[in-house]
Amino acid sequence: MRQAGRYLPEYRKVRETSSFLELCRSPELAVEVSLQPFRRFAPDGVIFFSDILVPAQAMGVRVEFGEGGPELPEPVRSSVDVERLRRFDPTREIAFTGEILAALRREVGGRAAVLGFAAAPWTLASYLVEGGGSKSFVIIKQMMGRDQPTLKRLLDLLADVTADVLSFQIECGAQAVQLFDTWAGELAQEDYRAWALPAAARVIARIRRRGAPVILYVNGCAHLIGSMAESGADVLSIDWRLPLSEARQRAPRLALQGNLDPGALMGTPEEVARRTRSLVEETGGRAHIVNLGHGVLPQTPIECVESFFEAARRAVSREPARLSAENP
């Protein structure tokens, strides 16, 4: 969940001399910023530094990163626009992502798992159609209501591109991959099941035989968790609005990831530790990747991130022992 970023002074330092997209495209710099949180916190997983919009650029879309997040000045709004998008060969167009992953595997050795990621088709389509972030998603919802063949073609294409991208990441060293369907929580359950879920499931089915576990994240997933469990993912990554104990009841067969509110890290380190311990108590530390419920906020005090890691490490080392004593 956005391990690297502006909450780290060493990241801000690298960003003084390079733009965000330069960072993404330079293996040397991307490896350096991927390793910054690993050096500080020694997490069990290291996500490679990139962005969900890097593949969009390779499809031929103009992408810019301004102060307010990503901007796509030529959005995809019609069937003609969709026809212009390219399915591309990752080994040619985004070879740098493979170099970053391979170098990270070498640097991290066996000390942590290296994770790849991509946007799920619905979330990538949201950026392409809206032309950037959105509050209401009114343009893609208009397409969903009035031009279904175009949206279907777009999602199918994005599912194939995303499967190509994730397959390439796994070949280059990603040991697990996370599919970010950040904006699918904006959909009613009926629409999630009609549009976002089948597209994410198509990606997962296409990469399944490569053997890397797949983690599916949806922000605002409380109404969708039962449907997400049908995606084929191995792990469901949960935002903070849904208690993990309830997620476990509604998706009992899958591992869970999450779900501390990133906003809780704005409080005191003691409170962060208490909240982190209670997350682990909710799952008993079983089939649970302790994480935040979304990305670290740029304003986050570092001592609170440290407190999260320390509390998580202590809690998971205690829970399994307690459990096995209770249930031999």
Say whether 51 is catalytic.
yes
Give the other-Cβ count within 10 Å of 101's Cβ: 27
Closer residue to ligand CP3 in complex, CB, 34/319? 34
Closer residue to ligand CP3 in complex, CB, 142/299? 299
| Least Å from the CB of residue 172 to ligand CP3 | 16
Q: In what order do the strands lie in the sheet with 176-180?
A: 45-47, 113-119, 176-180, 214-218, 235-238, 255-260, 288-292
Catalytic residue, from 40, 51, 241, 314: name it.
51
| Least Å from the CB of residue 150 to ligand CP3 | 23
Say whether 313 is catalytic.
no
Say whether 81 is catalytic.
no
CA atoms within 13 A on the CB side of 60: 11
Say whether 25 is catalytic.
no
Integer angstrom CA distances of residue 52 from 21, 56, 197: 12, 8, 18
Closer residue to ligand CP3 in complex, CB, 34/167? 34
Catalytic residue, from 7, 11, 127, 192: name it.
127
Contacts of 253 (CB under 8 A, 6+ apart): 229
Closer residue to ligand CP3 in complex, CB, 45/90? 45
Binding region for ligand CP3 (CB under 6 A):
2-6, 15, 20, 34, 47, 49, 51-52, 65, 69-70, 117, 133, 180, 182, 219, 294-295, 298
Say whether 15 is catalytic.
yes
| Least Å from the CB of residue 322 to ligand CP3 | 32
Active-site amino acid positions = 2, 6, 15, 51, 127
